[in-house]
Structure 1
Amino acid sequence: MMHVFNLRVYYEDTDLAGIVYYANYLKFIERARSEWVRGLGVDQSALRAQGVVFAVRRVVADYVRPAVFDDELQVRTQVLAATGARLTLAQTVWRGDALLFEAEVQLVCLSDAGRAVRFPAVVLAAVTVM
């Protein structure tokens, strides 16, 4: 199952050449992950109140084509693997039928003390239903 998040490129997203600044793709996929988790019915604020937060452990990214001001983009998120300790996602950014960016993102959970903890059962249950 795939989650889709739509967004538009604003001036603030671009560099002096009018192209989306490379680091902003990471922001785009972060927003998409937040909406994906919300769509799963997982309350990140409640988890944080319980001392558990999500953290990106690893990102492997490939910039394929540039996006520019006013482009309408679509971020697609899919689960590649889920264990008690890690979630691995494929996230891609598209403009119509053109792939612009792709990343493999590995997520972990941390305690409020910054130590690795297992994913809460509610998260794993929501992800495995996909």
Structure 2
Amino acid sequence: MIYELPVRVYYEDTDMAGIVYYANYLRFIERGRSEWVREIGMDQNAMKAEGYVFAVRRVEADYLAPAKLDDELTVTTEVTQVTGARLVMDQWVKCNGKALFHAIVTVIVMNEDGQPVRMPANIRQMLN
């Protein structure tokens, strides 16, 4: 399943050159992952109450082209791998179909002590 999230570029997202500041692409893909989690019916607050949270372990990012003020972007999120303790996601930021940013994001599940743990069965079921 590929989830798409529309994002508009606001003035606050840009740098002095009028293009999206590089770190904001990470914010855009974070929103994409958060909305994807909601879309599949996962409640992160309930997950936290059970003692588990998601954490980004690794990001491989490529900046391909700039986005500018008022651009209407699309953030896509797709799970490409699920293992016992992690998810790997392929995320793109595009404008009018043109790729601007690409990231491969590895997310793990951690317990309250910040230690990586196996993904609970109910969460794995939502991902398959």
Further displaced range: 44-53 or 115-124? 115-124
For residues 17-96 of structure 1, what are the structure 2 equivalents within 5 Å? 17-96=17-96
* Corresponding pairs, count: 128
Alpha-carbon contact 1:91-1:102 (below 8 Å) kept: yes
- Percent identity over the alignment? 55
**Secondary structure of the residue that 1:66 maps to in structure 2?**
coil
Q: Give the aligned partner of residue 15 of structure 1.
A: 15
Q: Distance in 1 between matches of 2:69 and 2:4?
A: 20
List alignment gaps of at least 5 residues for structure 2: none
TM-score (norm 1): 0.96
Deviations 1:92-120 (A, max 9, x none): 00001100000000000111111111112
Task: Give the letter for the 2:86 counterpart.
Answer: R
Deviations 1:9-34 (A, max 9, x none): 00000000011000000000000100
Q: Name the SS for the 1:116 alignment partner.
A: coil
Alignment RMSD, CA only?
A: 0.7
* Structure-2 residue corresponding to 1:6: 6
Post-superposition shift, 1:122? 2.1
| Matches for 1:97-116 after TM superposition, within 5 Å | 97-116=97-116
Moved over 6 A (4+): none
More displaced stretch, 111-120 vs 68-77: 111-120
Runs (5+) with no aligned partner, structure 1:
none
Length-normalised TM-score, structure 2 = 0.98
